[in-house]
């Protein structure tokens, strides 16, 4: 397993890119809207991982709620890459971990993703990712 990406909630990707791209020097290689999750995402490779900037596309987006609750953007989730997301979910479930998604759904770039509840991890929203290999 490895860290696939860090999900960072932002009010506006364009504004966040002024730091992550212009000041820090990362490159935004992919931008996409994930309708199902009501977010726009920008992916910036960083070593073998990436920074995923998340911008809400509506007021009832989970990212909009996160920003409202916190009063600002910030780290929203950590994504761990697995080769077999179904097996990872089964293992977590067997261990009694509280899952948000019991079955994987389609995330950015056609990946399979599933979220694990922060109550199970000690306070961090965890995303499991299985990359789309074609």
Distance, in Å, from the CA atom of 48 to the CA atom of 77, rounded to the nearest integer, reads 17
Question: Which stretches of the chain bind Zn ion, using CB under 5 A?
Answer: 7, 52, 79, 127
Shortest CB 134 distance to Zn ion, Å: 20
Shortest CB 25 distance to Zn ion, Å: 22
User: Coil, strand or helix: which one is 122?
Assistant: coil
Q: Which of 3, 36, 30 is nearest to 104 (CA)?
A: 36
Q: Looking at beta carbons only, is 6 or 86 nearer to Zn ion?
A: 6
Q: Looking at beta carbons only, is 7 or 73 nearer to Zn ion?
A: 7
Q: Looking at beta carbons only, is 21 or 52 nearer to Zn ion?
A: 52
Q: Which of 69, 68, 38, 70 is nearest to 54 (CA)?
A: 38
């Amino acid at each position: 397993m490895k860290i696939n990406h860090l999900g960072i909630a932002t009010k506006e990707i364009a504004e966040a890119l002024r730091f992550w791209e212009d000041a820090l020097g990362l490159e935004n290689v992919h931008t996409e809207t994930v309708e199902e999750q009501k977010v726009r995402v920008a992916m910036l490779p960083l070593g073998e991982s990436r920074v995923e900037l998340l911008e809400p596309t509506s007021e009832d987006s989970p990212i909009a709620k996160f920003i409202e609750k916190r009063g600002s953007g910030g780290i929203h989730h950590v994504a761990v890459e697995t080769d077999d997301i179904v097996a990872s979910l089964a293992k977590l479930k067997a261990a009694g971990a509280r899952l948000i998604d019991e079955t994987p759904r389609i995330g950015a770039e056609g990946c399979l993703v599933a979220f694990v509840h922060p109550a199970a991890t000690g306070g961090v929203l965890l995303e499991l990712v299985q990359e789309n290999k074609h």
